[in-house]
Amino acid sequence: MDKITGLNQTALDGIQRGMRKLHEAAHEIATAPVEGSEPVELVKPLVEMLEAQRAIEASAVVLRRANDALDSVLEALRS
């Protein structure tokens, strides 16, 4: 049970880190300097947003798998 709890915490930490990174990148995009009518240098924060999205998705999969494992253990105990 401790391993599943540890996995849940690790997954939640990963989601929180990804959300912070996503928020920081969004802020960088929103406050980017504008040259004429075009924003300048958005490639880096856009890539960081994609990386954050992928990290959040991966952590969500870990959380889902840990939940499935816990459900299996509980189901086996009920039998």
% of the chain residues with pLDDT over 90: 67
pTM of the full structure: 0.81
Residue ranges covered by each domain of the chain: 2-78
- pLDDT higher than threshold 80 for residue 68: yes
Name 55's Cβ contacts closer than 8 Å, sequence gap at least 6: 14, 17, 18, 21
CA distances from 62 to 15, 17, 39, 46, 72 (A): 10, 15, 37, 25, 15
pLDDT at 1: 58
* pLDDT for res 69: 87
- Please check the confidence at residue 51 and state whether its pLDDT lies above 80: yes
Mean pLDDT for the chain overall: 91
Question: Per-residue pLDDT averaged across 44-60, rounded?
Answer: 97
